[in-house]
Structures are given as C-alpha cells and as structure tokens.
C-alpha cells in the first residue's frame, strides 16, 4: 500500500519528484515554431495534452529557463509533432542543446508556417490561444487549426527511457 504524507514546498527533492513523475508513461512530441528570422526551431516535449474539443485546444509546457523559450514566447503559431516508435533518435536530437537540430531533418511549413516534421505519427498545427505562467514553466494553449495522423506505433517515455507501444 502506498503511504503519503504532506510536505512543504521547501522540503521537496526535485530529483525524487522527477522520479515519481516519471512513473507516468507519456507520448513524445517535438514542438516546433519559426523564430523571428523565420528559421525553424523545435524541442522535444512530453508535457503535452489535449484540453478541449470545442474549441479545439491543446497545451504544451515550456521551461522559461530554456534557450528555446524565446522562440515560443514570440511565435503566434506552433506545431506539435507526435513521434512514432521509429523516431527515438529524432526525439533525442531535439532534446539536446544544439543549434543545428533541423540540419538534415525533413520538414515542411504547415498552413500556419510552423514546421511539420516528415514521418510523424500525427501533427497538430496551432494558433497561439493563451499563455499561463506556472512556476518555472509557461503553459502554451494552442487552438488547433489543422491536424493529421498516420498509423505508426507511438513512441512513449517512461522512467527515463523510451519504448515503443505495440498493439
């Protein structure tokens, strides 16, 4: 049986909290946008979820301390690219701190202009709806304006490692 106790915020060990949160298996996405010079930028994110069907809203969380935050802070559109099991290396590439994440990566501009990656399980193009400050992250709410999907098995992340979900 699980036993829990209330603790104050100062006593929370961030590493242990991260381990606990890692027990929740998530899908893996790459969130993309164009920067102020119209160059493609993106980051791996598993903090993504559907919010509403009417209106069609999704959210993604971006650390305000990350270098890429400035791109998303200024972009009016973004795309959420849901990765398939065959895209583990792509996920790792976009999780690294490197300027050339898009070098050699096939993509096309969606109807919003945001980069849509080739070969993804699904994508959702979004128009910026609202931002919500939440601790050390900003929650970006996006209104879905276009989407599509394929039939690959999904890439999942659980307890610090990748897996492919088989049906």
User: Which pLDDT value is given to residue 9?
Assistant: 63
Q: Global pTM? A: 0.88
Selection from 141, 118, 132, 166 nearest residue 48 by Cα: 141
User: Which pLDDT value is given to residue 127?
Assistant: 97
Give the number of other Cβ atoms within 10 Å of residue 154's Cβ: 18
Cα 159 to Cα 18, 19, 22, 66, 87: the distances in Å are 9, 7, 4, 22, 18
User: Which pLDDT value is given to residue 103?
Assistant: 95
Domains and CATH numbers, the chain: 27-155 (2.30.110.10)
Q: How far apart are CA 144 and CA 41, in angstroms?
A: 19
Q: Are 106 and 119 in contact (CB under 8 A)?
A: yes
- For the chain, where are the alpha helices, taking DSSP H only? 14-21, 69-74, 88-95
Please list the rounded mean pLDDT of every run of 10 residues in the chain (167 residues).
60 81 84 96 94 97 92 96 96 91 96 97 97 93 97 88 77
> With 0-12 CB in 10 A as exposed, 13-18 as middle and 19+ as buried, what is 63?
middle
């Amino acid at each position: 049986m699980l036993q829990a106790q209330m603790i104050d915020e100062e006593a929370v060990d961030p590493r242990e909290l991260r381990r606990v949160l890692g027990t929740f298996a998530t899908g893996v996405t790459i969130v993309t946008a164009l920067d102020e010079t119209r160059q493609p930028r993106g980051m791996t994110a598993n903090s993504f979820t559907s919010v509403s069907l009417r209106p069609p809203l999704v959210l993604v969380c971006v650390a305000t301390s990350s270098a890429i935050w400035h791109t998303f802070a200024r972009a009016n559109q973004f795309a959420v690219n849901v990765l398939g099991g065959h895209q583990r290396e792509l996920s790792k590439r976009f999780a690294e701190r490197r300027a050339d994440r898009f070098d050699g990566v096939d993509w096309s501009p969606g109807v919003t202009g945001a980069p849509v990656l080739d070969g993804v399980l699904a994508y959702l193009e979004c128009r910026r709806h609202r931002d919500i400050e939440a601790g050390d992250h900003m929650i970006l709410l996006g209104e879905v304006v276009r989407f599509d999907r394929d039939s690959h098995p999904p890439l999942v992340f659980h307890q610090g490692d990748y897996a492919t979900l088989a049906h």
